[in-house]
């Protein structure tokens, strides 16, 4: 940042002092970062300072890292002819990487099917639904 004075400033010489004076420290950092684009900051800080830009929605969809990690899988959406991007699984484990295989169910979409697996008859399911105890999709 070109602010070597900050490392010797008595307001910032310990973690507690940096916290106590965080508003001044944040102002100094913001003064610097506002002068640069996210890409410029990535080049300045990259590999030296933990840094991550805050993206807007368009930037998320354009970032090749999000695409490479399958963080915006597309699923069908009931009532829409256009598939919808949903958040992907952020943690990618070697043996069990996880993935989005389908959309989330609508409220009550599988209620009847699940209750039937527990031996609850259709008539009882209908009664529960008519009493407002459960939702059916």
When the pLDDT of each residue in the chain is averaged and rounded to a whole number, the result is: 92
Sign of the C-alpha dihedral, residues 39, 40, 46, 52? Answer: negative
The pLDDT value recorded for residue 13 is 94
What global pTM score does this model have?
0.57
The pLDDT value recorded for residue 79 is 83
Q: SS3 string of the chain?
A: CCCCHHHHCHHHCCHHHHHHCHHHHHHHHHHHHCCCCHHHHHHHHCCCCCCCCCCCHHHHHHCHHHHHCCCCCEECCCCCCCCEECCCCCCCCCCCCCCCCCCCCCCCCCHHHHHHHCCCCHHHHHHHHHCCCCCCC
pLDDT digits (tens, 9 = 90+) for 14-34: 999 999 999 999 999 999 999
**Poorest-pLDDT segment among 46-50, 62-66, 67-71, 99-103:** 46-50
pLDDT digits (tens, 9 = 90+) for 67-110: 999 999 999 988 889 999 999 999 989 999 889 988 888 899 99
């Amino acid at each position: 940042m070109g602010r070597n004075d900050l490392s010797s400033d008595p307001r910032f010489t310990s973690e507690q002092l940096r916290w106590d004076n965080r508003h001044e420290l944040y102002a100094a950092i913001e003064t610097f970062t506002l002068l640069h684009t996210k890409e410029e900051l990535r080049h300045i800080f990259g590999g030296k300072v933990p840094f991550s830009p805050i993206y807007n929605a368009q930037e998320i969809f354009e970032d090749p890292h999000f695409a490479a990690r399958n963080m915006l899988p597309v699923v069908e959406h009931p009532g829409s002819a256009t598939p919808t991007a949903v958040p992907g699984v952020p943690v990618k484990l070697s043996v069990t990487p996880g993935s989005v295989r389908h959309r989330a169910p609508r409220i009550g979409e599988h209620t009847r099917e699940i209750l039937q697996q527990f031996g609850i008859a259709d008539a009882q399911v209908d009664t529960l639904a008519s009493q407002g105890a459960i939702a059916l999709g």
